[in-house]
């Protein structure tokens, strides 16, 4: 019971902390970013973003995850509407009365249902395989060493299957969400288009995790670089902002690298959240 309450308390505290750290880190990154010689910036309050994120997280929990597409769009809207290109704000606009989550619900339903099926079936199959191994190899259940080793090995295999299934099941949703968010961002009448595809995004993600696991985390920056390059190579700008009419940023430059964000490993990505 105490473990359950402590776990709940950890998530209650960590969700706003991670959200605030993400906001501070984005502010730091944008203050060091130039486009056509014009500095970007991020206005707004990190704690306001954190409190809103906490509320959306509660709705996600109460809806068993089905509020996630709306929460993702809400976070992106709050982040991008506070982003500045010089003295020009970015806008997050939905056109023609469309749903903000257009194109995201079916991929999300696929991810939710398919991973739920994996979560139910995998332990059953793992248990049957472990029982077959113990029986066929003649392992005595009273032999604690051999029996425990077999069960630990099977437990690790099940965890690996969970991790791989998570990436595969949610790849269509992640690609759809990234494309939809990019399409809603505008700057001075110019729009963006991202061509993220399920299989190519999955391949980049798997390659990144391979580098992280094989190097025990030392090559995590390479995984981040792969994600950044993937997005930039597939990001298009439709129309062109009037660069000559946009002045330099009036926002104060962030003075810190936000070590809290680094502690939560939030330093990867290029802003399409």
Which run of H or of E encompasses 191? strand 190-194
What distance lies between CA 56 and its chain's CA centroid? 15
- Structural domain including 124 reads 99-185
Sheet holding 83-85, edge to edge: 34-35, 38-42, 83-85, 88-89
Give the total number of structural domains in the chain.
Answer: 1
Q: The pTM is what?
A: 0.83
**């990436």: which residue's tokens?**
167
Instruction: Let me know if residue 180 belongs to a domain.
Output: yes
Q: What is the mean pLDDT of residues 102-110?
A: 95
Q: What pLDDT does residue 233 have?
A: 92
The pLDDT of residue 1 is 80
Following DSSP, what letter does each residue of 28-66 receive, concatenated?
Answer: HHHHT-EETTEEEEE-S-HHHHHHHHHHHHHHHHHTTTT
* More confident: 252 or 111: 111
Alpha carbon distance 14, 264 (integer Å): 10
Could you tell me if residue 158 is inside a domain? yes
Residue 159 lies in a domain: yes
Distance between CA atoms of residues 90 and 21, nearest Å? 21
How would residue 107 be classed by pLDDT, with cut points 50, 70 and 90?
A: very high
Least confident interval from 125-129, 137-141, 200-204, 230-234: 137-141
Q: Residue range 234-252: average pLDDT?
A: 81
Residue-wise over 161-197: b if at least 16 C-beta within 10 A, else e? Answer: beeebeebbbbbbbbbbbbbbbbbbbbbeebbebebe
Domain membership of residue 48 (yes or no) is no
**What six digits make up the tokens of 237?**
């700008």
Banded pLDDT at 141 (limits 50, 70, 90): low
Residue 177 in domain: yes
Separation of alpha carbons 191 and 236, rounded Å: 8
* Residues 18, 266 contacting (CB under 8 angstroms): yes
Check residue 189 and give its pLDDT: 84
> Using one digit for the tens of pLDDT, what is the confidence trace for 130-139?
777 667 666 6
Q: How far apart are CA 74 and CA 56, in angstroms?
A: 8
Nearest Cα to Cα of residue 186 among 104, 269, 88:
88
Decide if pLDDT at 267 tops 90: no
Over 50: is that where the pLDDT of 268 sits?
no
Tens-digit pLDDT profile for residues 194-210: 999 999 999 999 999 99
Mean pLDDT within 91-120: 91
Average pLDDT in the 52-76 region? 93
pLDDT > 60? residue 108:
yes
Question: What is the per-residue burial (b if ≥16 Cβ within 10 Å, else e) of 228-237?
Answer: eebbeebbee
């Amino acid at each position: 019971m105490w473990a359950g309450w402590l776990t709940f308390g950890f998530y209650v505290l960590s969700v706003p902390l991670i959200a605030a750290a993400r906001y501070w880190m984005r502010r730091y990154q944008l203050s060091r970013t130039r486009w056509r010689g014009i500095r970007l910036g991020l206005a707004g309050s990190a704690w306001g973003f954190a409190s809103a994120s906490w509320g959306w997280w509660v709705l996600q929990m109460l809806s068993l995850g089905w509020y996630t597409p709306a929460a993702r769009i809400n976070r992106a809207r709050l982040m991008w509407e506070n982003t500045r290109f010089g003295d020009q704000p970015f806008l997050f606009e939905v056109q023609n009365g469309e749903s903000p989550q257009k194109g995201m619900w079916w991929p999300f339903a696929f991810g939710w249902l398919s991973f739920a099926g994996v979560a139910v079936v995998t332990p059953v199959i793992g248990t049957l395989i472990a029982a077959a191994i113990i029986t066929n190899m003649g392992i005595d259940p009273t032999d604690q060493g051999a029996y425990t080793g077999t069960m630990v090995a099977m437990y690790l295999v099940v965890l690996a299957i969970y991790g791989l299934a998570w990436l595969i099941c949610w790849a269509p949703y992640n690609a759809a969400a990234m494309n939809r968010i990019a399409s809603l961002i505008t700057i001075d009448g110019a729009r963006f288009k991202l061509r993220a595809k399920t299989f190519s995004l999955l391949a980049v993600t798997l390659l990144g995790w391979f580098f992280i696991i094989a190097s025990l985390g030392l090559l995590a920056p390479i995984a981040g670089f792969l994600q950044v390059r993937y997005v930039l190579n597939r990001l298009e700008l439709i129309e062109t902002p009037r660069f000559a009419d946009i002045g330099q940023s009036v926002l104060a430059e962030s003075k810190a690298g936000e070590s809290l964000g680094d502690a939560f490993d939030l330093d990867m990505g290029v802003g399409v959240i």
